Amino acid sequence: MPDSTDVWVTSFGDVVTRQDLTRVWCGECFGTGCVLGESSTGQVIALLCGECDGLGWFPDLPERPQGS
């Protein structure tokens, strides 16, 4: 079983793993804890999450923008 930090559930109930995502950003979290994420196919999806890092990016993704 994947670690819980490697799996998210989209707002549509789909399970997304870390490998499915290229980036996740949470500068605009909703009250429900949803954040926006971009899958490896470029599709923007809503994710449920409870924690974001200080940069507004979800902390445990392999690819994170540098600078900007």
Nearest-10 Cα torsion for 61, 49, 25, 16: 60
* Structural domain includes residue 68: no
* Structural domain includes residue 27: yes
pTM as predicted: 0.32
Query: pLDDT for 42-58, tens place per residue?
Result: 666 666 555 544 445 55
* Structural domain includes residue 61: no
Name the residue among 22, 20, 12, 19 with its Cα closest to residue 47.
12
Query: pLDDT for 3-61, tens place per residue?
Result: 555 666 665 667 777 666 666 555 455 444 555 666 667 666 666 555 544 445 554 44
* Structural domain includes residue 43: yes
Domain of 23, in residue numbers: 4-48
Which pLDDT belongs to residue 65? Answer: 47
